[in-house]
A and B are shown apart, each in its own frame.
Chain A
Amino acid sequence: EIVLTQSPGTLSLSPGERATLSCRASQSVTSGYLAWYQQKPGQAPRLLIFGASRRATGIPDRFSGSESGTDFTLTISRLEPEDFAVYYCQQYGTSPYTFGQGTKLESK
């Protein structure tokens, strides 16, 4: 199965700063089928980005995704207070679909 390794495990930033989250795949992700989800405590994950770089409906444009080979990046250009949460990447191109272990974005 494809292993997704997210880094860092925890990221401490302040509102207004830029956040860069990484997700590295153990092998090629079919057709760039890589998604990013945001999860807040007690809530289900929320789809942010799919196809490595396409924003889901209703997602602010401060969220962007990019791909370089087996490395994927989620960037939040200017952090808002509501952005502090856990972020997961997921590949959905090869079964079994797999998730990264998550990056916790916390307020400094």
Chain B
Amino acid sequence: QVQLQESGPGLVEPSATLSLTCTVSGGSISRGNSYWSWIRQRPGQGLEYIGYIYYSGNTYSNPSLGSRVTFSLDTSKSQFSLRLNSVTAADTAVYYCARDPGYGEPLDYWGQGTLVTVSS
């Protein structure tokens, strides 16, 4: 059973960089065709797909976030990470990491989510 767990600061100052890490257990992060994904949910709102890093290192980010997003993969630690720069209050959300096992597959395993608040 694959398990994912987000970690990172719960409070980030405006204009700073939000950094989150997702630790994967129960499965290899570097094998298969998995897309390691990030999704966020603003308070009281719906879900927004942020993007993913492929097991090979290729990435995709939602155009709505422009060039503010970067992803990385650390296979030695079975972790993948999200960095979102120049944050504003609009980036306050619960951030989820999730696994997409391959193109044409849905998000099957999710982390529990972590709330990040952007405030001074």
Q: Do A and B bind each other?
A: yes
Question: Which residues on the A side are within 8 Å of B49 (C-beta)?
Answer: 90, 96-99
Q: Which of B13-21, B59-67, B72-80 contacts A (4 or more CB under 8 A)?
A: B59-67
Chain A interface helix/strand/loop/mixed = loop
Task: Specify the chain B residue showing the minimal Cβ separation from A34.
Answer: B106
Q: What number of A-B contacts does a CB cutoff of 8 Å give?
A: 54
Q: Give the Cβ gap from A57 to chain B, nearest Cβ, in Å.
A: 9
Q: Give the Cβ gap from A10 to chain B, nearest Cβ, in Å.
A: 14
Q: Could you tell me which residues of chain A, from 48 to 68, have a CB within 8 Å of some CB in chain B?
A: 50, 56
B interface, size bucket: 20 to 34
Question: Which residues on the B side are within 8 Å of A31 (C-beta)?
Answer: 104
> Contacts A31-B104, A45-B110: A95 and B47 contacting too (C-beta < 8 A)?
no
> Contacts A95-B60, A99-B46, A102-B46: A47 and B108 contacting too (C-beta < 8 A)?
yes
Question: Which residues on the B side are within 8 Å of A100 (C-beta)?
Answer: 46
Question: Which residues on the B side are within 8 Å of A92 (C-beta)?
Answer: 100, 104-107
Q: Give the Cβ gap from A22 to chain B, nearest Cβ, in Å.
A: 16
Q: Could you tell me which residues of chain A, from 21 to 44, have a CB within 8 Å of some CB in chain B?
A: 31, 33, 35, 37, 43-44
B107 touches A47 (CB 8 A): yes
A93 part of interface (Cβ distance < 8 Å): yes
Task: Specify the chain B residue showing the minimal Cβ separation from A102.
Answer: B46
Q: Give the Cβ gap from A107 to chain B, nearest Cβ, in Å.
A: 20
A101 part of interface (Cβ distance < 8 Å): yes
As a 0/1 sequence over residues 50 to 62 of chain B, the CB contacts with chain A under 8 angstroms (1 = contact) are: 0100000000101
Q: Could you tell me which residues of chain B, from 8 to 63, have a CB within 8 Å of some CB in chain A?
A: 46-49, 51, 60, 62-63
Question: Which residues on the A side are within 8 Å of B113 (C-beta)?
Answer: 44
Known: A92-B104, A97-B49. 16 other contacts (CB 8 A): A44-B98, A44-B110, A44-B111, A44-B112, A45-B107, A47-B107, A88-B46, A88-B47, A90-B107, A92-B100, A92-B107, A93-B104, A96-B64, A99-B47, A99-B48, A100-B46
